A and B are shown apart, each in its own frame.
Chain A
Amino acid sequence: MTGPPRGEPLRRRIEAGALRKFARATGQTDPLFTGGEADDAEGITASPTYVGTFCNDALVGVFLPRPEHDMILHTADEVDLFAPIRVGDTIAAVAELELVEEHVGRHGPTTVQRARITLTNQRGEPVATIVVEMRSFSTGQADD
């Protein structure tokens, strides 16, 4: 089952502070990702998993709601990187639903949903594709 692409892409201008903060939060020490002590923010490149920061906002309204499920877990990511993200870039993210499957797992009825997010920069160059997989199920707590 596949849903329609979202209309307007999410757009973000990349700021040095955001890249530095992400690098610190993920333990990076490489000056390529942290900027080191340099004042020249132009040289900072996003570390390889920074692309994941687009997911939550880009996926709003993409996964099908499952109101009977009170738990959702992130179960897989497939990322292909084509171009670096640098300070001053404007990145557009478009997400579309790729797959919805129903299973009966150890948590009972479980829904697996997979969405593809495509990132492009201000020059129209592909930056990355990200396939995110989530599983949702009921823990039974809602019945208490």
Chain B
Amino acid sequence: MTEANDFAGIAPGAALPELALAITRADLVRFAGAADDYMPQHWDQPMMIAAGFADVVVHGWLCCAHMCRCVTDWATPRGAILAAYHVTYRQPLYPGPLTCGGEVVAAEAGEVTLELWARDGSGQTVTRATARLRPADAAAELRGRARRNKSRNDAGITGSGAR
């Protein structure tokens, strides 16, 4: 069993606690305001029904936020930070029940990889994602590496060993 602040103890096969919630229209309005996302697909129900959809669709970023919350609620106490997430919105998600979960699929070289899913009220997987975690103390090193890469790119340096 993984102990708190034990990044090295995270092992493949560990399952994230599922996060279950219901997304309401009020949630869509709240998210639209917080994210400055006023695309009509998320509020114009007559337009969406006329276009062949069952309802307005939930913002992809809102679904993604809940999937990432499922990760950070579990990972932060273990001394891990979210370093990357790649998300594919496979099916429209409509307001209603949403369940998010995932599993550790790899843990090596100071990096943990998770596969994530989000299911609607019918149990259909509407969104899939992969996420990468790093130890929280690796964050500063990561920023330094990104800064060095940017400096090299800005300077047009491509050779090895450049600083």
Size of the A side of the interface (Cβ < 8 Å), in residues, is 39
B25 within 8 A of A: no
User: What chain B residues lie within 8 Å of A32 (beta carbons)?
Assistant: 76
Who on chain B is nearest to A20 by CB? B34
> In whole angstroms, how far apart are the Cα atoms of A27 and B89 in the complex?
20
Q: Which of B5-13, B101-109, B110-118, B141-149 contacts A (4 or more CB under 8 A)?
A: B141-149
In the assembled complex, the Cα of A47 lies from the Cα of B35 at a distance in Å of 12
B76-115 to A contact mask, C-beta < 8 Å, 1/0: 1000001111111100100000000000000000000000
Is the C-beta of A73 less than 8 angstroms from some C-beta in chain B?
A: yes
**Cβ-based interface call for B125 (8 A):** no
Q: In the complex the two chains form, what is the Cα distance from A27 to B67 in whole Å? A: 11
> Least Cβ distance of A82 to chain B in Å?
4
Inter-subunit contact A79/B36 (CB<8 Å):
no
Q: A70's contact among B51, B92, B146, by CB below 8 Å, is which? A: B51
Number of B residues whose C-beta is below 8 Å from A?
A: 43
**Provided the pairs A82-B146, A125-B146 are in contact, do residues A53 and B86 lie with their beta carbons within 8 angstroms?**
no
B3 an interface residue at 8 Å Cβ cutoff? Answer: no
Interchain Cβ contacts under 8 Å between A and B, 5 examples: A49-B64, A52-B64, A74-B61, A81-B83, A81-B84
Q: Assuming A22-B35, A53-B34, is B61 touching A77 (CB within 8 A)?
A: yes
The residues of A that contact B65 with a CB separation of less than 8 Å are 26-27, 47, 49, 52
Instruction: Say which residue of B52, B62, B76 sits within 8 Å of A26 (CB atoms).
Output: B62
Which A105-144 residues have C-beta < 8 A from chain B? Answer: 120, 124-126, 139, 141
Chain B positions 30-71 with a Cβ under 8 Å from a chain A Cβ = 30-31, 33-37, 39, 41, 50-52, 57, 59-62, 64-66, 68-69
